Amino acid sequence: MPTVQKATIEMLDQIYPLLQHFGIQELNKNDWRQLLEKRWSSRFNHFGYVLMEKEKVLGFLGTFFYERKILDKTHHFCNLFCWVVPEEHRKSSLFLLLAVLNIKDLTVSSLTASRDASLILKQFKFKTLETDVRIFPVFLSLSLGRGTVVLHSDHEAIRSRLNKQDLALYTDHNLASCEHLLAVNKNNESQYCYLIYNTVRKKKLRFTQIYFISNSTIFKKAFSPIQHFFLKHNHTLFTVIDKRLSGSPSPGPGFNYTLRYPRLYRSQKIQASHIDNLYTELAFLKKI
């Protein structure tokens, strides 16, 4: 009978073939090691669960554990990724999920679940977090807000201006796959919008995808110069943002694109509007 154990970095050689099923071709074993060795949580020191039989790894469910302060209270989160169990052991795959769901006071998200995984998660009271992304073509962006903000992409310039909470996000996402931009109010430097994003490819199309927006008010005022920055520095014609993150009213003219499978979450304390896309596999994907 297979058993469930916590996934540790010493198991990477056995887990790596399963990680390759996840489809992030840009990450080799050393890249995965550097990523999975990171600890974003003071409560948990592992990166998932493995299905074991006679010291052999049969299946894997990845977890990114982290903490976020929301309305001055610290909450514990877990993002699921790479749920891979071979067909002959599929009946035991639920044990991996239950290892996560049995943890108390934990908000759990799954942002890139397959169709089959989504159906299973919904049976365990996962709700829809997001169904659409908003796509903003730069050529529809008006030249508004250019005189109201100063943009900073230099890392030292960004670090020196961030408050304590945003600086922690920067430190945790100071990775090769993540990019950072700061839009500072020209008339009041204490007011800013901090963005975490990366440049993604879908087939032959490159676009900028934003995963975190610290101040939606400044973001909307500065959206045009931000998009033109992406055009100049990332050579992207489109900016993509999860609909719940772009907010209402929309920061600019664009259109909705329905995700193939919805992003999901389960929580007793946290609303969907308080969950962004940081500390998830999305920040490491360069091709979707």
How many domains are contained in the chain? 2
177 and 39 within one domain: no
pLDDT given at position 143: 62
pLDDT above 70: residue 212? yes
User: Which CATH number characterizes residue 23's domain?
Assistant: 3.40.630.30
The string of pLDDT tens digits covering residues 20-77 is: 876 666 678 888 888 888 889 989 999 999 999 888 999 999 999 999 998 889 999 9
Question: Residue 119: inside a domain, yes or no?
Answer: no
DSSP 8-state symbol, 20? G
Return the SS3 of 220: helix
235 and 163 within one domain: yes
Domain that holds residue 278: 133-262+271-284
**Predicted confidence band at 288 (pLDDT cuts at 50, 70, 90)?**
very low
Domain closes at, from 53, 86, 105: 105
211 and 141 within one domain: yes
171 and 31 within one domain: no
96 and 140 within one domain: no
pLDDT above 90: residue 147? no
**Average of per-residue pLDDT across 126-152:** 84
139 and 99 within one domain: no
137 and 100 within one domain: no
Instruction: Of 109, 8, 97, 118, give the one whose Cα is nearest residue 68.
Output: 109
List helix spans (H) across the chain.
Answer: 12-19, 29-36, 93-101, 115-123, 155-159, 164-172, 216-221, 223-234, 243-246
Report the side by side order of strands in the sheet with 179-185: 3-6, 48-53, 56-70, 73-84, 107-110, 255-266, 127-137, 238-242, 205-213, 192-202, 179-185, 149-152
The string of pLDDT tens digits covering residues 227-276 is: 999 999 999 999 999 999 998 888 989 999 999 999 999 999 899 999 99
183 and 53 within one domain: no
